[in-house]
Amino acid sequence: MTGHAHDLDLVAGLAGGLLDPAEEEEALRLVTSCDVCRHEYGVQQRIREGLAALPPPALTETERETIVSAARRRRSLRPGPILAAAAAVVVVAVGITAALDGDGSEAAPVVDLGDVTAVELAAELDRLVAEEAGGEETTAFLEERAEPEAAGASAEPDTESAGGAEEEAPPPEPPCEAPPGSTVTVLAVVDGRELVAFVSPDGAVLLDAGTCAPVSPP
Amino acid sequence: MTADPVDVGLLDAFAAGDATAFPTLVERHGDLVFSVCLRILGDRDLALDATQETFLTLFRRAGSFRRESKLSTWLYRVAVNASVDIDRRRRRHLTAVLPEGHDPPDPAAADELAAVELRPALEEALAAIPVELRAAVVLVDALDLGLAEAADILGVPVGTVKSRVFRARRHLARLLGDPPGNRGGPRRRPMEER
């Protein structure tokens, strides 16, 4: 059986035409001369055909409209004035930048995410916790999310960084008292509910911004 | 592999402020992006989240898209990354993924994979294999993309894509009760390789 390991990959390539002509000739020879290879080819072919036969899913018109409007909303409806939104985005993009209190002492930075889905909030909290813990949790996808504003490589008509506004906007105020040890405060609105999360290297504590009562993580 | 002129025109129109360009891009590519996300995540709501993230990324980064590559390839790459990311997060937060003693499907099922009534079993099995293998087999077998494009999307060599596709099919066959290359031998317990 182990002697067939390489040959089985060759045979597997027959399903779906993933071989060059020379490999295909050899694979066909194996399929016709070896029971194990023939069985392997059958299995590979059946799975491939099964996957190809799965009906292609389609978005409904409503879902498509939701995607379009969500992209526009994320661009234009971050909470607070657009200048504050730009500041929040820049904070996320370049890493966490500490805000300064009135007396000049360093305060925990506040990241205002605006309207997000539960999944997006969970992703951002995961990323921030990992970052605070000194890890490198960020995936390519999250890098995609954090990069553009820093690079200024955006083609959108309503460019966020115009006018150096990020330097003028005051940081949003956290509505609840931060627990000891928290190093980043995150504000977000999920399904219309305002939430605040306090991030530390050990994790994130999620509170309802109105009552300051703990809520389950999204 | 260069971008479709229609996509280039839409991206240019979008950059120029044409409000109809972005919905048209979603119209053109939305179903296939959603298809990638749904096949990887196996959950419509999560797939919609991943699809939304994909097009949000397009919305923000349309200007940095390199015109010498296909827009669909670029979108698939973002969609796969978004889906894999969501899948990993979901699994990290799940406390009970599958019940103990999950009954193996009927071994004869693998002989009739194309039958409509077996699609849920195949979709369930797809959700149970490692996400790296799932992404590869979805792109190559379910979406019928070429190895080179799949490799570009996944950011791995062509040989790695091939290997992942073969391993994915074997995982799926095993989960469906048909161990590959082992006809007549001891049958592994399905669903054991999560």
Q: Which residue has the tokens 């990020």?
A: A166
User: Of the given ranges (A94-98, B22-26, B92-96, B105-109), which has the lowest mean pLDDT?
Assistant: A94-98
* Cβ pair A71:B56 closer than 8 A: yes
* Cβ pair B62:A43 closer than 8 A: no
Q: Binning pLDDT at 50, 70 and 90, where does residue B133 land?
A: very high
What is the rounded end-to-end Cα distance, in angstroms, of chain A? 47
Q: Encode pLDDT of B44-76 as tens digits.
A: 999 999 999 999 989 888 877 777 788 999 999
Nearest to A141 among B82, B140, B183 (CB): B82
pLDDT at A69: 87
Q: Tell me the two tokens of residue B88.
A: 């990993």
Query: For residue A208, which phi and psi values (nearest 5 degrees)?
Result: -75, 125
User: Of the given ranges (A8-22, A72-86, A182-196, B112-126), which has the lowest mean pLDDT?
Assistant: A72-86
Q: Binning pLDDT at 50, 70 and 90, where does residue A198 land?
A: confident
* ipTM given for this complex: 0.77
| Cβ-based contacts of B48 with chain A (< 8 Å) | 59, 63, 66-67
| Cβ-based contacts of A36 with chain B (< 8 Å) | 181-183
SS (H, E, C) A48-62: HHHHHCCCCCCCCHH
Closest residue, chain B, to A7 (C-alpha): B181
**Residue B146, CB-side half-sphere exposure with 13 Å CA sphere:** 6
Q: Binning pLDDT at 50, 70 and 90, where does residue B156 land?
A: very high
Spatial CA neighbour of A111 closest among A80, A138, A148: A80
Q: Please tell me the distance from the alpha carbon of residue A1 to that of residue A5, in angstroms, as a whole number.
A: 7
Closest residue, chain B, to A63 (C-alpha): B48
What is the pLDDT averaged over residues A130-138? 55
Q: Please tell me the distance from the alpha carbon of residue A49 to that of residue A60, in angstroms, as a whole number.
A: 26
Measured in angstroms, the CA of A158 and the nearest CA of chain B are apart by 9
Measured in angstroms, the CA of A175 and the nearest CA of chain B are apart by 27
Q: Encode pLDDT of A77-92 as tens digits.
A: 333 333 333 334 433 4
Q: Tell me the two tokens of residue A46.
A: 């059946």
- pLDDT higher than 80, residue A171: no
Residue A56 sits at the chain B interface (C-beta within 8 Å): yes
